[in-house]
Copies of this chain bind each other. A is one copy, B any other.
Amino acid sequence: MNRLPDSELIMIPGGTLITDSPEKGRELAMLIARHTIHNIQPDLDVLKEGRKIYSIDPASLIAASQVVAIEFQTIAAANNYWRRDKK
């Protein structure tokens, strides 16, 4: 198995849900979503094969974006929606 490095298996990179901005929160949501996949399937070769399939399949792209949306709900709530950042 071509195992991912340990850094790719950390479940909450940075160790906190608190971020400086919505943009950073969204990046964290994507990262957490990806690292969850890594933890279920830590073989880089299998992941690369999977990427070829899902990255050109609209239904899979929509499904992946939904997971990010759900992760972001949690992160946004954790940050009180960054309300002080209101323009």
Contacts and interface: CB of A to CB of B under 8 A. Distances in A.
B37 A65 contact: yes
Interface size class on chain A is 35 or more
A interface: dominant SS:
helix
A63 interface: yes
Contact of A11 (B15, B23, B83): B23
A64 B70 CA distance: 13
B58 A62 contact: no
A5 interface: no
Interface string A20-58: 011101110010110011011100001001110111111
- Residue of A21, A55, A65, A77 contacting most chain B CB atoms (<10 Å): A65
